[in-house]
């Protein structure tokens, strides 16, 4: 039986089956992306923190816009070539479309990679510091942090400084200067929440071994191994289940006894008075060991280092993912960052809420009072704001919060050199990846752990803007990849289909082209909303 309108279009509507299907599918896609765009708008309107504005590099997004528009044109040319039965030209235009999709994803990958390397820190006073982490040196399990050197006022080129900060001498391992170092000689593993993870156990043992230490059980002296934990967890589960069954048995016996003594009371009233208090010394009860404790064999402390996302640290304890608790002392764990962005908007908003003058509170902030170079940059910014305010007043306007309280990397570089930000010329690489840390000078500051309110890379963890940015652009990227795969199949794996039924292939390419136009249309909305506003 032949399915009607699979190849030939209906005379009344002019549509064939797959074209109707793709329009229905695109309608659902409109609802999906419409919901995401609406979420972005409401999150931005009602944001209770300084919303990032013009935080994304424009050039990659600008190029990607024209790349997708060009690919929409070439996919139409491919469809037209099929209509004219020119299969070679069809393959050429499809190939160009796929190359455009590949270039789009490469540029998007570069943009993502920059975000994964960029660091954000919020100080306790609300100041947001953006930049790149400096590097510490690791040897024999001990982290050595670089000595802080105050840069001279007006110093513009720190190529050597950046090189030293990013390199490690022979015999040392280079690690980011934001690790959590915790000194302890005892750790506890909760068997109830413990998740089997060979990497985590190996990580703990390896760090102890680097410092010539061995982790052993407090009770038995056995080395910390995954097999030991698995066996202990098996015993824990078995003993816990046994005691639960025993508790249920005692409860049934108590119920039967209570029912014999008072057969007239309703069940709900009898249940409220029913109590079972097992005797801990009962020989039927089994000991449930919920936690295993381990210590260093020598008794000397070992310094464990963790990524900030892996552990929740306190002055005298730390909790690692997977049910591992450490008791000891938070070791020296500063965060050292080269500043390429400053945002005082949250501090200014808090000051206004308390009836204080924002600029005065910024002047008294930790960053300005501690680092003279940063103070010099801020004071140069204030002079620029004064000129900008006068200029805007002549036009009946006034500067917004971004103009007043935020500094980008070009302003930081320019003010440190005593020049105008307009005199800073971005290289082509910087337009894609942001500032060049090997050629530009940026103030370097050190924050202690008790000064940090929150820190993160520019990932969904940092704020709602980046969360929805990665969701929408990531979902759009998946559509690009999926569409490119389909077009590749039609372009280079469809010779037999073309020879047997060229009209069918033409219809399929038309449907794929409609999807590709939709992908292009989504990006045309994405680019101004995320990159320009």
Query: What pLDDT score does 151 carry?
Result: 44
Query: What pLDDT score does 13 carry?
Result: 64
Asked if residue 253 has pLDDT above 90, the reply is no
Query: What pLDDT score does 160 carry?
Result: 44
Residue after which a domain boundary falls, among 310, 333, 356: 333
Query: What pLDDT score does 451 carry?
Result: 93
CA distance 346 to 456: 17
Q: Residues 204, 238: contact at Cβ < 8 Å? A: no
Residue after which a domain boundary falls, among 398, 424, 457: 457
Note whether residue 12 is domain-resident. Answer: no
206 and 312: one domain?
Answer: yes
Confidence of residue 431 (pLDDT cuts 50, 70, 90): confident
Note whether residue 173 is domain-resident. Answer: no
443 and 513: one domain?
Answer: no
Q: What is the pLDDT of residues 439-459, one digit of tens each?
A: 898 999 999 999 999 999 999
359 and 328: one domain?
Answer: no
Residues in the chain: 533
CA distance 482 to 487: 9
The mean per-residue pLDDT over the stretch 514-524 comes to 96
354 and 314: one domain?
Answer: no
410 and 518: one domain?
Answer: no
Asked if residue 467 has pLDDT above 70, the reply is yes
Of the candidates 287, 303, 293, the one whose C-alpha atom is nearest the C-alpha of residue 189 is 293
Query: What pLDDT score does 479 carry?
Result: 96
**Domain around 371:** 340-457
The mean per-residue pLDDT over the stretch 454-479 comes to 94
Average model confidence (pLDDT) across the chain: 88
Note whether residue 7 is domain-resident. Answer: no
The mean per-residue pLDDT over the stretch 104-116 comes to 94
Asked if residue 148 has pLDDT above 80, the reply is no
52 and 96: one domain?
Answer: yes
Confidence of residue 327 (pLDDT cuts 50, 70, 90): very high
Asked if residue 227 has pLDDT above 60, the reply is yes
Query: What pLDDT score does 154 carry?
Result: 42
Residue after which a domain boundary falls, among 303, 333, 363: 333
369 and 286: one domain?
Answer: no
217 and 258: one domain?
Answer: yes
Asked if residue 8 has pLDDT above 80, the reply is no
Note whether residue 149 is domain-resident. Answer: no
Asked if residue 119 has pLDDT above 60, the reply is yes
Note whether residue 490 is domain-resident. Answer: yes
Asked if residue 128 has pLDDT above 80, the reply is yes
Query: What pLDDT score does 158 carry?
Result: 42
Q: Which two tokens stand for residue 428?
A: 């082509």
Asked if residue 198 has pLDDT above 60, the reply is yes
Confidence of residue 86 (pLDDT cuts 50, 70, 90): very high
Predicted model pTM: 0.82
Burial class (CB in 10 A: 0-12, 13-18, 19+), 174: middle
Confidence of residue 374 (pLDDT cuts 50, 70, 90): very high
Burial per residue of 25-46, b for 16 or more beta-carbon CB atoms within 10 angstroms, e otherwise? eeeebeeebeebbeebeeebee
275 and 407: one domain?
Answer: no
491 and 451: one domain?
Answer: no
Query: What pLDDT score does 11 carry?
Result: 62
Note whether residue 131 is domain-resident. Answer: no
Note whether residue 381 is domain-resident. Answer: yes
391 and 524: one domain?
Answer: no
Query: What pLDDT score does 165 carry?
Result: 46
pLDDT-above-70 percentage for the chain? 92
Q: Which two tokens stand for residue 337?
A: 């960052």
Q: What is the pLDDT of residues 498-513, one digit of tens each?
A: 888 888 888 889 999 9
210 and 308: one domain?
Answer: yes
Among 143-157, 264-278, 474-488, which is the least confidently predicted range?
Answer: 143-157
The mean per-residue pLDDT over the stretch 71-95 comes to 95
Q: Which two tokens stand for residue 435?
A: 């500032």
The mean per-residue pLDDT over the stretch 6-35 comes to 80
Q: What is the DSSP string of 74-121?
A: HHHHHHHHHHTT-HHHHHHHHHHHHHHHHHHHHHHHHHHHHHHH-EEE
Asked if residue 364 has pLDDT above 70, the reply is yes
How many domains would you assign to the chain?
3
Note whether residue 273 is domain-resident. Answer: yes
How do 317-320 and 302-306 pair as beta strands?
A: unpaired
Report the CATH number at residue 502. 1.20.120.80
Query: What pLDDT score does 161 carry?
Result: 44
């Amino acid at each position: 039986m032949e399915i009607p309108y699979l190849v030939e279009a209906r005379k009344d509507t002019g549509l064939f089956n797959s074209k109707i299907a793709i329009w229905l599918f695109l309608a659902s896609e409109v609802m999906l992306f419409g919901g995401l765009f609406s979420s972005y708008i409401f999150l931005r309107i009602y944001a209770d923190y300084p919303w990032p504005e013009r935080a994304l590099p424009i050039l990659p997004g600008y190029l990607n816009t024209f790349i997708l528009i060009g690919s929409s044109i070439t996919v139409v040319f491919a469809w037209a070539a099929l209509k004219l039965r020119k299969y070679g030209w069809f393959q050429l235009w499809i190939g160009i479309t796929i190359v455009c999709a590949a270039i789009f994803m490469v540029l998007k990958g570069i943009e993502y990679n920059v975000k994964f390397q960029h660091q954000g820190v919020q100080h306790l006073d609300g100041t947001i510091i953006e930049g790149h982490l400096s590097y510490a040196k690791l040897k024999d399990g001990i982290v050595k942090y670089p000595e802080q050197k105050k840069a001279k006022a007006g110093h513009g080129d720190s190529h050597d400084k950046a090189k030293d900060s990013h390199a490690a001498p022979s015999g040392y391992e280079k690690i980011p200067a934001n690790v959590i170092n915790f000194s302890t000689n005892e750790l506890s593993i909760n068997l109830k929440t413990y998740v089997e993870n060979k990497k985590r156990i190996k990580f703990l043992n390896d760090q102890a071994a680097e410092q010539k230490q061995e982790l052993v059980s407090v009770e038995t002296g056995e080395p910390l191994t995954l097999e030991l934990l698995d066996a202990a967890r098996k015993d824990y589960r078995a003993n816990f289940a046994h005691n639960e069954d025993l508790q249920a048995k005692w409860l049934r016996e108590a119920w039967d006894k209570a029912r014999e003594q008072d057969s007239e009371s309703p069940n709900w009233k009898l249940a409220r008075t029913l109590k079972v208090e097992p005797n801990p010394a009962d020989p039927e009860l089994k000991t449930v060991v919920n936690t295993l404790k381990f210590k260093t064999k020598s008794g000397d402390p070992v310094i464990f280092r963790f990524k900030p996302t892996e552990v929740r640290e306190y002055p005298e304890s730390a909790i690692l993912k997977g049910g591992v608790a450490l008791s000891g002392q938070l070791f020296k764990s500063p965060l050292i960052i080269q500043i390429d962005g400053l945002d005082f908007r949250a501090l200014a908003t808090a000051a206004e809420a308390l009836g204080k003058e924002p600029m005065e509170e910024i002047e008294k902030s930790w960053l300005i009072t501690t680092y003279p170079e940063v103070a010099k940059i801020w004071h140069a910014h204030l002079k620029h704001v004064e000129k900008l305010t006068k200029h805007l007043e002549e036009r009946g306007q006034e500067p917004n919060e971004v103009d007043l309280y935020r500094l980008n990397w070009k302003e930081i570089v320019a003010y440190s050199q005593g020049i105008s930000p307009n005199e800073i010329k971005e290289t082509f690489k910087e337009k894609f990846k942001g500032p060049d840390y090997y050629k530009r000078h940026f103030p370097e500051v050190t924050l202690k752990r008790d000064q940090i309110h929150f820190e993160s890379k520019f990932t969904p963890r940092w704020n709602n803007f980046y969360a929805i940015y990665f969701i929408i652009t990531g979902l759009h990227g998946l559509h690009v990849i999926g569409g490119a795969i389909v077009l590749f199949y039609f372009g280079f794996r469809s010779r037999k289909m073309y020879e047997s039924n060229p009209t069918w292939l033409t219809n399929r390419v038309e449907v794929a082209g409609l999807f590709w136009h939709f992908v292009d249309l989504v990006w045309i909305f994405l680019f101004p909303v995320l990159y320009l506003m």
